[in-house]
């Protein structure tokens, strides 16, 4: 059930947020793609199953995951995602960083676990998508 939004909540959800805004808001560590932090974040998607991300994420989404291997860069590139946030204090593999730099995919890292990161993103206006 969707709760009615207050005026300020609705305005916040309508404002444009970038990866740079997320870095500043949450103190995210930039692991790769620092030149592309201007990318607009159109929404968010959280999953650790690559096939699920391929099937359901949308262009411009920021992807929240615990996966650290190079295949996350391939998925993010294919789906034209704005970036990837690794949660739970995970660090990308060296090959993942190299591939992300080549493809221009920002990878950010947070000590927060996925559940809390998604909640905080939602609070600042990054919404998921409706299943309908």
Largest CA distance in the chain: 45
Quick one: pLDDT band at residue 71, thresholds 50, 70, 90?
A: very high
Condensed to tens digits (0 to 9), the pLDDT of residues 84-132 reads: 999 999 999 999 999 999 999 999 999 999 999 999 999 999 988 766 4
Condensed to tens digits (0 to 9), the pLDDT of residues 12-51 reads: 445 789 999 999 999 999 999 999 999 999 999 999 999 9
CATH at 56:
3.40.1390.20
- Contact at 8 Å (CB) between 33 and 100? yes
Q: Is residue 71 part of a domain?
A: yes
What pTM value is reported for the model? 0.87
Q: Is residue 5 part of a domain?
A: no
Distance (Å) of CA 39 to CA 4, 9, 88, 118: 29, 22, 23, 19
**Position 6 pLDDT exceeds 50:** no
Domain encompassing residue 104? 17-123
Q: Is residue 131 part of a domain?
A: no
The owner of tokens 């096939």 is 51
Q: Is residue 73 part of a domain?
A: yes
Q: Is residue 4 part of a domain?
A: no
pLDDT (average), residues 57-65: 97
Q: Is residue 102 part of a domain?
A: yes
- pLDDT for 104 equals 96
Q: Is residue 3 part of a domain?
A: no
Q: CA 78 to CA 99: how far, in whole Å?
A: 13
- Contact at 8 Å (CB) between 121 and 94? no
Could you give the number of structural domains in the chain?
Answer: 1
Q: Is residue 96 part of a domain?
A: yes
């Amino acid at each position: 059930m969707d709760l009615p939004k207050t005026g300020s909540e609705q305005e916040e959800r309508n404002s444009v947020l970038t990866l740079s805004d997320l870095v500043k808001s949450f103190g995210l560590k930039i692991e790769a793609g620092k030149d592309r932090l201007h990318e607009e974040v159109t929404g968010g998607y959280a999953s650790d199953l690559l096939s699920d991300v391929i099937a359901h994420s949308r262009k411009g989404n920021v992807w929240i995951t615990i996966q650290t291997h190079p295949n996350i860069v391939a998925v993010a590139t294919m789906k034209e995602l704005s970036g990837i946030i690794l949660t739970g204090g995970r660090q990308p593999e060296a090959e993942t960083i190299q591939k992300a730099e080549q493809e221009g995919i920002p990878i950010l890292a947070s000590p927060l676990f996925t559940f809390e990161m998604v909640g905080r993103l939602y609070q600042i206006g990054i919404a998921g998508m409706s299943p309908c």
